[in-house]
Amino acid sequence: MPTTTKAPQKNKKPATKKEKPDSQAAQDLRELFEEQLKDIYWAEKALTKALPKMQKNATSEELAEAIGTHLEETREQVTRLEQVFQLLGKKAQAKKCDAMEGLIKEGEGIIEETVEGPVRDAGIIAAAQKVEHYEIASYGTLAAFATLLGEDEAAALLQQTLDEEKNADATLTEVAETAVNLEATEEDDEDEGE
C-alpha cells in the first residue's frame, strides 16, 4: 500500500490569509516611501557598476554612447537620491533590490549567451530597457508618494530622475530602430545564405 504523499497541513497557511507583518514593517505611507527609496538607492548604485560592463560589450557606437550618457546620469541620480534622503531628514541607506539584482543578472546572461556584434547589441538593449522600465515604475510611484506626503522638493527631484529614465528608454528604442535591429536581422540573412 502506498504511503500518503500529503504533507501534514498543520503549519500551512490558507492561501487567502494575509501576511503577518514583522516588527520592521512599514506602518504608514511615509515609512513605505522611505523603504522604497532605500530600494532604488541600492538599485542605482548597482547600476553604476553594471552599466560599464554593458557598455564595454556593445559593438554599436551609438549604443555604447547611449549607455555612457546614461551612466553619467545614473551617477547623478545616486546623488539626487542622497539629496532626497537629506530633505526627509534621513541618512542615505541602501537596501538590496531583489528585482534589480535579477535584471542585472539577466543582462549578464544575455551577454554570455550571444555572439559579439549586432545580435548581442540587440540583447543588451532588451536588458537595458527592462531596467529602465523598472526604474520608470519605481520613480513614478516615488514621485507620487512624495507629493502625497507634501514633500514637494523631493517630488521634484524624483520627477527629474523619472524624466531621465523615460528619455533613456526612448533613446534605446531609437538606437534599436536605427542602428542595431536591422543589422541583427541582416546577420540572420547571412546565416541563411551560408
Residues forming contacts to Fe ion in the complex (CB under 5 A) are: 39, 74, 77, 97, 99, 132, 135, 165, 168
Name the DSSP letter for residue 92: -
Task: List binders of Zn ion among 133-162 (CB under 5 A).
Answer: 135
Name the DSSP letter for residue 176: I
Which of residues 87 and 136 has its CB atom nearest to Zn ion in the complex?
A: 136
In order of 37, 61, 88, 161, the CA distances from 150 in angstroms are: 16, 43, 11, 19
Which of residues 95 and 183 has its CB atom nearest to Fe ion in the complex?
A: 95
How near is the Cβ of 117 to Zn ion at its closest, in Å?
Answer: 28
CB 66 within 8 A of CB 171: yes
Burial of 20 (0-12, 13-18, 19+ CB in 10 A): exposed
- Chosen residue from 39, 44, 121, 169 binding Zn ion by CB under 5 A: 44
Give which of Fe ion, Zn ion, none residue 97 binds (C-beta under 5 to 8 Å, depending on kind).
Answer: Fe ion
C-alpha cell at 156: 521634484
How near is the Cβ of 72 to Fe ion at its closest, in Å?
Answer: 11
Which residues are at the interface with Zn ion (CB under 5 A)? 44, 135
